[in-house]
Amino acid sequence: MTRFFRIALSRHIVINALKVSVVVGSVLNLVNQGGSLLHGGTISWLHLLLNYLVPYCVSSYSAAKNEIELGESNECQFKPTGKH
């Protein structure tokens, strides 16, 4: 589990997850609260936070899981020794 969090919090995954979160979270926020905003309603700050947090978590989880699985498959592959 520690390995997972170390990978999920690595710089390249955090940056990519933030980019995904900004795009997807903005679309989700427009879909979920757009009508209210257009009619002068109030913003639900909890929903706004969740609209950005959920895509961040999904993106970072899948990227970290992918790196772990790629690392494990590379460790299991046959590595030639150069001898025939």
pLDDT at 79: 56
1 within domain boundaries: no
Q: What's the gap between Cα 13 and its chain centre?
A: 7
| pLDDT tens digit sequence for 13-60 | 999 999 999 999 999 999 999 988 889 889 999 999 999 999 999 999
Q: Is residue 71 very low, low, confident or very high in pLDDT (cuts 50, 70, 90)?
A: confident
Q: Is residue 73 very low, low, confident or very high in pLDDT (cuts 50, 70, 90)?
A: confident
- Long-range contacts formed by 3-9: CB under 8 A, 24+ apart: 3/68, 4/64, 4/65, 4/68, 7/64, 7/67, 7/68, 8/60, 8/61, 8/63, 8/64
The pTM of the full predicted model, rounded to 2 decimals, is: 0.80
Q: Is residue 77 very low, low, confident or very high in pLDDT (cuts 50, 70, 90)?
A: low
Query: Structural domain tally of the chain?
Result: 2
69 within domain boundaries: yes
Domain residues for 54?
41-76
